[in-house]
Structure 1
C-alpha cells in the first residue's frame, strides 16, 4: 500500500476535520469530559488560535486526508521561555505509524527556533498511550499545573527541558 504522508502548517479549511478528530479521540478513550479540549471553544477554530505569535500547529495528512496534528502555544501564565504542547490528536487509522513522534519532533524543533527552553503539557490518564510517548521524549511529571490553560479536567502535568544542539 503506497501512502503519501505530509506534515504541514494548519490551514483554515482544516478546522472542521481537526475538531472532529480531537473529539472522536477523546470520546474513544473516555476522556470527553468538562475541563478538556473536548469542550474548549477554541477547538472549532484552531487555525485562528494558532495565528498567535510564537505558536504553530502542524497537521498530518495521509493521501491528502487530515488525520491529526499537534501544536505549541504560549499559554497565558507560563514563563516566556516555556511553551505548551497542545491538542495532540491522531485519528485511529493514523496511530501506530510513528506520526505522533514525528509531530512532536517538529514541535520541539520549532519551539527551540522560537527561543523556548521548556515545553509543558497537560493530559489525562485515560490517554495512557500518549503519556508513554511523552515519557519516552523525556517529559517529567509535575505535581501541579502551570499557566492558565483553562483545562481544569486535565490532571497529568509534564515538562521537558529543550536542548539546543551546538
Structure 2
C-alpha cells in the first residue's frame, strides 16, 4: 500500500470526490439543505475551482480519493478573505494527522494567493474539526461573513493569515 498524498484535484476525481463528500455528510448527520450537501459544485469540484485564487486538494492513495479541502474567495464578501471549503475525510483516514497536513497546504496556498484572512463555517457537533481549526489559529466569531448559502452551519471561525 503506497502512502497517501495531497494533490490538486483533476477532472477524473469529480465522481469519487462527490461520493466522499456525501458519504461523510450523511455519516455526520448534516442537513441536506443549507449545507455543502446541496451545493451544485459537489458534482463538479474540479470545474468549481478553475477560477482565480482558488484550489481544491484531494487526499489520494492508489487512485482512491479519501478526502479533500479547498480554498476560494469568500462568496459575497468584499475584501481579501478566502474560505476553507469542503474539508472532509472518510472515517478510515481521520485522526492520522492528514487534516493537519491538508490545512497547512490550504493555508500556504491562501497566503500565495495573497488572502489576508481565512474563514470557515461548520456544525456545532463537529468538535474534532473545530479543535483542528483552533490549533491552527482560527478564532470563533459571533456572526457569519459573506453569504456561502450554508445557512444551516451556525459555527463560524476566522484566521488572520
TM-score by length of 2: 0.95
The question of 1:81 aligning with 2:97 is answered no
1:44 counterpart residue number: 43
Hey, what's the Cα distance between the residues in 2 that align with 1:92 and 1:57?
A: 20
Tell me if structure 2 keeps the 8 A contact 1:81–1:116: yes
SS at 2:110 equivalent = helix
Hey, what's the Cα distance between the residues in 1 that align with 2:130 and 2:18?
A: 21
Residue 63 (structure 1) shift: 2.5
- Give structure 1 stretches of 5+ with no counterpart: none
2:160 counterpart residue number: 161
- Structure 1's consecutive aligned runs of 4 or more residues displaced over 4 angstroms after TM superposition are none
The question of 1:25 aligning with 2:24 is answered yes
1:35 counterpart residue number: 34
Hey, what's the Cα distance between the residues in 1 that align with 2:74 and 2:101?
A: 23
Residue 76 (structure 1) shift: 2.2
Tell me if structure 1 keeps the 8 A contact 2:82–2:115: yes
1:57 counterpart residue number: 56
SS at 1:133 equivalent = helix
Hey, what's the Cα distance between the residues in 1 that align with 2:152 and 2:39?
A: 11
TM-score by length of 1: 0.92
2:112 counterpart residue number: 113
Hey, what's the Cα distance between the residues in 2 that align with 1:93 and 1:62?
A: 12
Hey, what's the Cα distance between the residues in 2 that align with 1:64 and 1:145?
A: 37
2:98 counterpart residue number: 99
Hey, what's the Cα distance between the residues in 1 that align with 2:117 and 2:2?
A: 34
Tell me if structure 2 keeps the 8 A contact 1:143–1:157: yes
Judge which range, 73-82 or 88-97, deviates more. 73-82
1:126 counterpart residue number: 125
Tell me if structure 2 keeps the 8 A contact 1:70–1:85: yes
- Cα RMSD of the aligned pairs, angstroms, is 1.2
Tell me if structure 2 keeps the 8 A contact 1:125–1:155: yes
Tell me if structure 2 keeps the 8 A contact 1:31–1:126: no
> How many correspondences in the alignment?
161
Hey, what's the Cα distance between the residues in 1 that align with 2:110 and 2:129?
A: 20
